[in-house]
A = this chain, B = another copy of it.
Amino acid sequence: MSTGIFSLEQLEQFTLQVFRAIGCPEEDAVTATRVLLNADLRGIDSHGIARLSGYVRLWDAKRVNATPRVKVIHETPSTAVVDGDSGLGLVVAPKAMQLAIDKAKNAGTGWVSVQHSNHYGIAAAHAMMALEEDMIGISMTNASALVAPTFSTERLLGTNPICVAIPAGAEPAFVADLATTTAANGKLEILQRKNEAAPLGWIQDAQGNPTTDAHALKQGGALLPLGGDREHGSHKGYALGAIVDIFSAVLSGANYGPWVPPFPAYVPMPSDMPGKGIGHFFGAMRIDAFRKAADFKKDMDQWIRRFREAKTVPGSPAVVIPGDPEREMDLIRRKDGIPLLPAVVEDLRSVGQRFSIPL
């Protein structure tokens, strides 16, 4: 692992062996590898292989169970609650999403809330499983608190993403995957590395004042809900993040708000935790439970084309259909390889040395 660009196959082999090394059964190791590298392929570098060593540290700290017995603890024809048994979210989430899809086959829709899980990679990796079945897929998760609700100086919500994946006909699928904050934490980390200022509206300092200091988050500050401030609708971003938290954790019996377990294994667990692990929420809606799939897809194609062809401000890019940039990145990286920062390569190398895994 000396150069900065790696083929998907190289990273797959490496990641698979690391998950095997911590004791994941073969099938789970394959799933976790697919989900984790899906982030790198789609250009969401903050959630991909750069986090592999973090997952290993969670396993070291006994916060991740490599051989979970994932089970359904409650269900109806269209719903279920899944206990992830402290497994990797990368493994628990696809099982729960598959259950939502299976329920949709019979009941028209399927909705699964998950307790006792861990971080699940990118939301889109799971929601997009529905596309192959001519279903709409929905995926959301809570995460440890980094976001201050409007008016607050306290961090009470995670960046709590929502993904909705909708099939089309001749056009590629519509895939919106969005953190319920103004900017994702990964974008802030890029500015921190470059020592550049953040736009006003992304973060506040420890006293709750707007700031452009990209390092403020590490000094008691907080990310801001989508909208940025009250005048620009931050109460709406806060409400969306809250809905994700409640669907993922209050509905399943996981931890919510400030009690969600942290990703870095060196951060102590919150005290007085009210639930179990991290929570997710998945949905699958069969298109033909509403309308003939062919009719729906014809209208989706027209929707997508009308928006793509919209008049734009001179000099600005075309209107983007959600999912287009990530799909284009996926094509490029499958062909040209996946670039990794030197710090990430070094980090992976030390994980590899520990388990005697060569590239």
Interface status of A337 (Cβ within 8 A of chain B): no
Roughly how many angstroms separate A252 CA and B289 CA in the complex, as a whole number?
11
Contact between B242 and A322, CB atoms less than 8 A apart: yes
Instruction: Report A147 CB to chain B, min CB distance, Å.
Output: 12
Contact between B207 and A313, CB atoms less than 8 A apart: yes
Of A16-24, A31-39, A91-99, A304-312, the stretch lying at the interface with chain B is A304-312
Interface status of A54 (Cβ within 8 A of chain B): no
Contact residues, A121-177 vs B (CB, 8 A) = 136, 149-154, 156, 164, 166, 174, 176
Contact between B257 and A306, CB atoms less than 8 A apart: yes
Interface status of A299 (Cβ within 8 A of chain B): yes
Residues of A at the B interface (CB closer than 8 Å) are: 74-79, 81, 106-109, 111, 113, 136, 149-154, 156, 164, 166, 174, 176, 178-183, 199, 201-202, 207-209, 226-228, 231-233, 235-237, 239-240, 242-243, 245-246, 250-253, 256-258, 274-275, 285-287, 289-291, 295-296, 299-300, 302-303, 306-307, 310-313, 316-320, 322
Roughly how many angstroms separate A182 CA and B199 CA in the complex, as a whole number?
18
Contact between B291 and A201, CB atoms less than 8 A apart: no
Instruction: Please state the number of chain copies in the assembly.
Output: 2
List 22 A–B pairs whose Cβ atoms lie within 8 Å, in order of A's numbering: A74-B289, A77-B106, A79-B286, A81-B290, A149-B307, A149-B310, A150-B320, A176-B240, A180-B236, A181-B233, A182-B227, A182-B232, A208-B313, A208-B316, A226-B236, A232-B232, A235-B322, A250-B299, A251-B290, A251-B296, A253-B295, A258-B306
Contact between B232 and A199, CB atoms less than 8 A apart: yes
Instruction: Report A48 CB to chain B, min CB distance, Å.
Output: 21
A81: contacting residue among B227, B235, B291, B310, CB under 8 A: B291
> CB-CB < 8 A to A233: which residues of B?
178, 181-183, 226
Roughly how many angstroms separate A136 CA and B111 CA in the complex, as a whole number?
13
Contact between A151 and B312, CB atoms less than 8 A apart: yes
> CB-CB < 8 A to A201: which residues of B?
231-232
Known contacts A149-B307, A251-B290, A311-B152; is A78 also within 8 Å of B108 by CB?
A: yes
Known contacts A76-B108, A111-B285, A303-B257; is A252 also within 8 Å of B320 by CB?
A: no
> CB-CB < 8 A to A106: which residues of B?
77
Besides A78-B78, A253-B295, A253-B299, 4 other A-B contacts (C-beta < 8 A): A152-B312, A156-B307, A174-B242, A256-B299
Contact between B107 and A251, CB atoms less than 8 A apart: no
A164 (CB) vs chain B CBs: closest residue: B243
> CB-CB < 8 A to A322: which residues of B?
235, 239, 242
Instruction: Report A71 CB to chain B, min CB distance, Å.
Output: 15
A108: contacting residue among B79, B176, B235, CB under 8 A: B79
Instruction: Report A162 CB to chain B, min CB distance, Å.
Output: 8
Contact between A232 and B228, CB atoms less than 8 A apart: yes
A184 (CB) vs chain B CBs: closest residue: B233
Per CB-CB distance, the 4 closest pairs between chain A and chain B, nearest first, are A76-B108, A208-B313, A176-B239, A79-B108
Instruction: Report A206 CB to chain B, min CB distance, Å.
Output: 11
> CB-CB < 8 A to A151: which residues of B?
312-313, 316-320
